[in-house]
Amino acid sequence: MLEDGRVLEVANVIWCTGFHPGFSWIDLPVLKDGEPEHYRGVVAGEPGLYFVGLHFLYAMSSTMIHGVGRDAEHIAGTIAARSRGTLAPSPKPAGTAHADRGSPPARVTSPATAASAER
């Protein structure tokens, strides 16, 4: 819900982090020990929620300008494949039992994220 009471129904939210990730805005059961559960930025348990810029999202360079582009390209490709209905199941790290269920609407709760979603 936005500050003015509006709720935006969006298909995807990409949480792009900077110096401080600010996970307190996320009101979904996707955090474990304060960090999001994901594989290469894709949250299997909440289709439509993605992360970019996390420490070691995919590689040591994931938080740096020369590495974040690679990770963003992977997320963009995943979203495009889901929208076409051609997403092959991605490998999940050991201990992850979530199924890939497509991209239902996600609720945006951050004014900053909402502004990005409207663009």
Return the domain boundaries, the chain: 9-118
- CB under 8 Å to 44, separation ≥6 — which residues? 37, 38, 92, 96, 98, 99, 100
Q: pLDDT confidence of 1, banded at 50, 70, 90?
A: confident
| Residue 10 CB coordination number (10 Å) | 16
Dihedral of alpha carbons 115, 37, 71, 92, sign: negative
pLDDT in tens, 13-48: 998 877 677 888 888 899 998 889 999 999 988 989
User: What is the average pLDDT value for the chain, to the nearest integer?
Assistant: 76
The pTM of the full predicted model, rounded to 2 decimals, is 0.67
Q: pLDDT confidence of 76, banded at 50, 70, 90?
A: very high
